Structure 1
């Protein structure tokens, strides 16, 4: 039987004096850079005003970070954070929820679209999800380097021992999710090349369906993050509304375009 890989990566990428840069922060930055480069390309190709990109970036950063933090606090441990509201501000101590980040992203895009008629909400959403799924893949790599969100134990030699957690071989579910979201991004890009970006909400719907389905399935291999009475994970429950929205948006876009 093959021996499992021992994973003992230092979560700190490098330090400069008192300043430490963590792998998670590096991959989080990669996610934003990926979005910036993609949207610059899209705006140039579509003849949009590039000056609108800077305020869009600031709104996206604020929406994602605030949404992810509030999502973690309110979805996973509301009793504690509502009793200690100042703890919500301590984002440096960790705790970001992807579902909250996605909600924050869509709110940021909506607010930006209201101030910029040239770029409708559907246009921003449909194009950003292409890079957004790749950004999610980067962030899961950050979770892997942090040895967090680890998978359930495996009985075979296949698996990874996250020695910062314990010495039990586990599913590298962070890598599973990263590969799944990267594949979603590739499929969305190919659909965009075929003209799906011209159909309002088509790419957004596809992204929600693919990403939510992947998350619901892969949560099976992840350790439970909350003390939950039901035989499902919080991540699965939170993914269901996104899946439903994706299906409804797909049906809406199909009806409006009158094509598959």
Structure 2
């Protein structure tokens, strides 16, 4: 079976000197989906969604700033440190999901200090929204022909014509499908609960499942770093391990509190 030929134009629309990429559109759609989901959650549990706008700005700032710094520090530091102004050129690409997650964790902590709920409450609910937005972002990566997989001869291999003529794993779609499944799983846990008192369990499952998925799929990805790590694990895998371990600890802690 011949590989799938992918020669999709990454530019959604052009207005004079301004270009809108499909990745940017999917990223914006991810933020919108977060907003709509949290709007529903606030109305369902708090009876008002007046503070959701402030939440959106905190999440947007934390995710973009964290994702950009994560890419700069862990994937191509020599390039950016040699030309620091390039750090601000986000339109050229370069966002790291590990950094984005860390940035959101910090921004949500700052946000909830002026909110009528605790840190775990917002983390558990934001985890559901984040898993779906991760799915959309990976679809955007596929449309942009970026974060490609390793060479393969599987029947569903894809040739990204904008890069080369090598059949590759469509690893972006693998990741998107996994994230969609994680979203459905977390949403199921959320809806089936009678108390809605998770104490960090949904956040824990998010960290464990998202970054375990990332760890496994890194074996099928082309390296994104500009240097060769002195280990058999990729940079993405090494960055995933602390998140997985943190998730396991939070799950153990939350379950122990619920059993008391």
Normalised by the length of structure 1, the TM-score is: 0.95
Once superposed, what is the RMSD of the aligned Cα atoms?
A: 1.4
The corresponding residue for 2:55 is 56
- Are residues 1:150 and 2:148 paired? yes
Q: Please give the residue correspondences for 1:91-240 in structure 2 after superposition, counting only pairs within 5 Å.
A: 91-116=90-115, 118-195=116-193, 197-226=196-225, 227-228=227-228, 229-240=230-241
- Unaligned ranges ≥5, structure 1: none
Residue by residue over 1:167-194, the C-alpha shift from the partner in whole angstroms, topping out at 9 and shown as x without a partner, is 0110000000000001000000000011
Q: CA deviation at 1:224?
A: 1.2
Change (3 A) 1:157 1:203: closer
Residue by residue over 1:92-135, the C-alpha shift from the partner in whole angstroms, topping out at 9 and shown as x without a partner, is 1111101100011111100001122x032111110011111000
| Partner Cα distance (2:80, 2:117) in 1 | 37
- Contact 1:65 1:101 (C-alpha < 8 Å) held by counterparts: yes
- Contact 2:211 2:244 (C-alpha < 8 Å) held by counterparts: yes
| Partner Cα distance (1:143, 1:123) in 2 | 31
Change (3 A) 1:110 1:156: closer
> SS at 1:119's partner residue?
coil
Normalised by the length of structure 2, the TM-score is: 0.95
- Unaligned ranges ≥5, structure 2: none
> SS at 1:161's partner residue?
strand
Residue by residue over 1:177-219, the C-alpha shift from the partner in whole angstroms, topping out at 9 and shown as x without a partner, is 0000010000000000111842210100011111111111111
- Contact 1:152 1:223 (C-alpha < 8 Å) held by counterparts: yes
